[in-house]
Structure 1
Amino acid sequence: MIPIVYTVYGFALFFIVAWICLWLIHIMALSYCKWKLHRTVDRSPPEQPYPGVSILKPLTGVDPNLFSNLETFFLLDYPTYELLFCVENENDPAIMLVNSLLQKYPQVEARLFVGGLNVGVNPKINNMQQGYIAAKYPLIVISDAGIRMRDDTLLDMVQHLKENVAIVHQMPFAYDAEGFAAVYEKVYFGTSQARMYLGADFLGINCHVGMSTLIRRCAIEEAGGLAVFADYLAEDYFMAKEIVSRGWKMRVASLPALQNSGTRSVGALQARLTRWARLRVAMVPATTLLEPLSECMPLGAGAAWAAGQLFGAEPLAFFLVHVLVWFLSDWLMLRSVQNGSPPFTKVQFLLGWVWNECCAPFVLAVALLSPEISWRTRSYRLDWGGRARELSSKLKF
């Protein structure tokens, strides 16, 4: 029987190793962020013409920012592209909004598809299917409704598409807005999410989030077509996994994806983060068990106890220094992702940061205790491996 003292030292050593690894990820992600993000986009004429791009925009409903978000796609500085708007239902108010943009910008090649095709349980893929079939260019962009584009974003993404690269994805971030929910959103995506996203990309781990991604159509067809992934809610993860398994590479674009939903709220963001956590639990359960150790408070508490056991350090002092340095490194990370000062004060950042760090363990706990996933008007349950089953449909027209 192993003496209890060895068990205690074993756990203490585990926490210290995890603590060191997370700080190495901090340093690596911050360094990679400064090198990778916000590079100057080359606008000079290329030696060879840029390939055409078909942009798929799945839409469901209208929020206050949808018109301005969609309008940025009509103003892209890129020579050849088409916009393919996909709306699930003929009574959706997004149709009228899209038609007004088509009339405002007749010089931009754009089409509207209504109805979708039922090829699986994933409503996003069902909605996009008609547009995907009609797309005429070799490059496909899948872009969520809430994304706002800079005029050089598409050019930046295409310039990352080297010969062996099939996917160029934008790191999720948030467009500037007012209110605590906007601070919380920007702090989450600019600190903890950015750190793990950039760290995973640097290490070659699949971190693909498909809210704004450029994909070679030939790579999708090699994998069996878009419909193959319709039985997964996390179609972006499985699409990237399948394409990379065939020898292709992925790259993160230098410009982050600017999410600009017109209905920000703390509850809505936490519901979204909980849904993502439930997806991770079903897809990569082993990794999910280690997630608490990637958060400041649980890791700091474990490392403080371990430092006391192994080195006789004062646990409280160790924990407070750990939290302070983590806070400062997150401030530097956010400034780097923002490419300057964020649109709120340091006090607002502190409040948003404390809220984000304190809520993170509870978001994961809720995801573990309640596996049912609600997505817009539908409910799903995931089988191990990530395949989804629709439990009910509450869609009303």
Structure 2
Amino acid sequence: MQIDSDLVAMIITNVGWACFIIAGVGSIYTLAAAILVRRFFRHEIADPQEFPPVSILKPLHGDEFGLAKNLEALCLLDYPGPFQIVFGVQDPYDPAIQHVENLRRAFPHIDICLVVDVREHGANRKVSNLINLMREVRHDLLVLADSDIGIDRAYLRQIVAELVKPEIGLVTCLYRGRPTTGLWPRLSAMAIEYSFMPSVVLGLSIGLARPCFGSTMVLRRAVLQEIGGFEAFADHLADDNAIGEAVRHRGYKVSIPPMAVTHLCSEQSLRELLIHEMRWARTIRAIAGRGFAGTIITHPFPFALLGAAAMGLSVPTAGAVAAVLGCRLILGRLVDEALGGKTAGWWLMPVRDMLSFAVFCASFFVGSVTWRGRRFHVRADGMLLPVEEH
């Protein structure tokens, strides 16, 4: 069968135009997100009028990089009210225990509790840990935060200021990347600051995003009981999002104050980075459902390159690629200004964008994820099923 070369050329040209259209829409999206991020963090949080007692829940797993510093920050909080810190591990020999004991000796005036309990209540081990440590919680206001989250001294004041509002049932926080030294941590932090955070802020602004993050969740014990306790989320991959949705379903609002905690990025290899980001992408896909495909517009630079490849390199196509990259660099600059720091040099932006696009495409063909050394199948509803090892 003879192939019509004119038809092939027309198809390739149309594909090129389609790629440039996606890149153009994505560039507009990029600039809008950049402006909204800068506007979001300009707001200030007023100090609360009351400082109720707080229990801070901190599930731990292993001696993560930077763990000692993250845990010490909890003991240095500037909060006039009483607060309790409840740490939990599921392994009696977990090296994180030593960090907790060090804190007890260094800060004897802080109410610190450690729960060691091997029981598992579902596929999500973090939630199992939370279920176990609830027996030691003494206060009605609960603060949950992942172990790799860094905070400043005003953290507790700021999140409590939001929760004391009567219509608020849960407070959650955006987070920024805090890379350790090396290429892979910087690329990891860039994904958070130049892709994830702008997308969330824009989604919030137009009413399409309903997020809740494990970086921080603050709620009252009564609200937690209303939604079934942590037990109701023991098999969820995105337990944080599921908790947020359950709180909204009960008629409460979820507040996201204009502040950002830090997520420590310490990946030591490309493989470790890809495993982490693939789990992240599968989590977002499970949350967004069919809408996940729409996030294709958040990858304008790869589509600009595809468009140039299809239509041939010329002054117009090269100019279009440069313009799209320029939009991405503007976003990086404005996000850096909003957050008060620079994550990486501009030359890494194209590398980061191509890597993000590869992860996005691969997420449609991956049905399982690796989490804390275990493999799980992810069902369409976001529930986890452990993979049997042979």
TM-score tier (shorter)? 0.7 to 0.9
Q: 1:393 to 1:247 in 2, by over 3 A?
A: farther
C-alpha offsets along residues 268-325 of structure 1, whole Å, 9 cap, x if unaligned?
232211111122334433122233331122443578799x9xxxx9333223212222
Instruction: Please say if residues 69 and 260 of structure 1, whose CA atoms lie closer than 8 Å, have aligned partners that are also in contact.
Output: no
Instruction: Please say if residues 232 and 388 of structure 1, whose CA atoms lie closer than 8 Å, have aligned partners that are also in contact.
Output: yes
Match of 1:134 among 136, 153, 168: 136
CA RMSD of aligned residues (A): 3.2
Distance 1:77 1:264 in 2: 34
Q: 1:188 to 1:376 in 2, by over 3 A?
A: same
Instruction: Please say if residues 184 and 266 of structure 1, whose CA atoms lie closer than 8 Å, have aligned partners that are also in contact.
Output: no
Distance 1:237 1:360 in 2: 22
Q: How far is 1:105 from its partner?
A: 0.8
Greater shift in the superposed pair: 202-211 or 375-384: 202-211
Which amino acid counterpart does residue 327 of structure 2 have in structure 1? V
Q: How far is 1:242 from its partner?
A: 1.6
The residue number in structure 2 matching 1:115 is 117
Q: How far is 1:123 from its partner?
A: 0.4
Instruction: Please say if residues 62 and 94 of structure 1, whose CA atoms lie closer than 8 Å, have aligned partners that are also in contact.
Output: yes
Matched, 1:365 2:361: yes
Q: How far is 1:124 from its partner?
A: 0.4
Q: How far is 1:177 from its partner?
A: 3.5
For structure 2, the 5+ residue unaligned runs are 1-7
Instruction: Please say if residues 369 and 377 of structure 2, whose CA atoms lie closer than 8 Å, have aligned partners that are also in contact.
Output: yes
Distance 1:214 1:38 in 2: 23
Match of 1:274 among 269, 278, 292: 278
C-alpha offsets along residues 324-353 of structure 1, whole Å, 9 cap, x if unaligned?
22222222223323x2x416xxxx522331
Matched, 1:69 2:73: no
Match of 1:216 among 203, 213, 220: 220
Distance 1:319 1:374 in 2: 35
Greater shift in the superposed pair: 272-281 or 289-298: 289-298
Q: How far is 1:141 from its partner?
A: 1.4
Q: 1:182 to 1:30 in 2, by over 3 A?
A: same
Which amino acid counterpart does residue 386 of structure 2 have in structure 1? E
Instruction: Please say if residues 179 and 266 of structure 2, whose CA atoms lie closer than 8 Å, have aligned partners that are also in contact.
Output: no
Q: How many residues align?
A: 379
Distance 1:8 1:285 in 2: 30
Matched, 1:185 2:181: no
C-alpha offsets along residues 181-231 of structure 1, whole Å, 9 cap, x if unaligned?
232233221111111121122233122221222223322221111110111
Distance 2:166 2:40 in 1: 19
Instruction: Please say if residues 27 and 327 of structure 2, whose CA atoms lie closer than 8 Å, have aligned partners that are also in contact.
Output: no
Distance 2:216 2:268 in 1: 19
C-alpha offsets along residues 140-181 of structure 1, whole Å, 9 cap, x if unaligned?
211111112101011111122222122222212123543222
Distance 2:145 2:363 in 1: 26
SS in 1 for 2:123: coil
Distance 2:58 2:320 in 1: 49
For structure 1, the 5+ residue unaligned runs are none
Q: How far is 1:138 from its partner?
A: 2.4
Distance 1:157 1:196 in 2: 22
- What are the residue-to-residue correspondences of 1:286-297 with 2, within 5 Å? 286-297=290-301
Q: TM-score, normalising length from structure 1? A: 0.84
The residue number in structure 1 matching 2:85 is 83
Q: TM-score, normalising length from structure 2? A: 0.86
Which amino acid counterpart does residue 321 of structure 1 have in structure 2? A
Match of 2:380 among 381, 384, 397: 384
Distance 1:260 1:199 in 2: 24
Distance 2:26 2:197 in 1: 14
SS in 1 for 2:225: helix
Instruction: Please say if residues 55 and 85 of structure 2, whose CA atoms lie closer than 8 Å, have aligned partners that are also in contact.
Output: yes
SS in 2 for 1:369: coil
Instruction: Please say if residues 378 and 393 of structure 1, whose CA atoms lie closer than 8 Å, have aligned partners that are also in contact.
Output: no
Matched, 1:356 2:358: no
C-alpha offsets along residues 239-290 of structure 1, whole Å, 9 cap, x if unaligned?
1112112221122232212123556544323221111112233443312223
Distance 1:10 1:237 in 2: 39
The residue number in structure 2 matching 1:323 is 325
Sequence identity (%): 21
The residue number in structure 2 matching 1:163 is 166
Distance 1:359 1:176 in 2: 17
Q: How far is 1:19 from its partner?
A: 5.3
SS in 2 for 1:285: helix
SS in 1 for 2:108: coil
Which amino acid counterpart does residue 41 of structure 2 have in structure 1? L
Instruction: Please say if residues 143 and 211 of structure 1, whose CA atoms lie closer than 8 Å, have aligned partners that are also in contact.
Output: yes
Distance 1:367 1:327 in 2: 26
Q: How far is 1:77 from its partner?
A: 0.8
Greater shift in the superposed pair: 266-275 or 238-247: 266-275
Instruction: Please say if residues 60 and 92 of structure 1, whose CA atoms lie closer than 8 Å, have aligned partners that are also in contact.
Output: yes
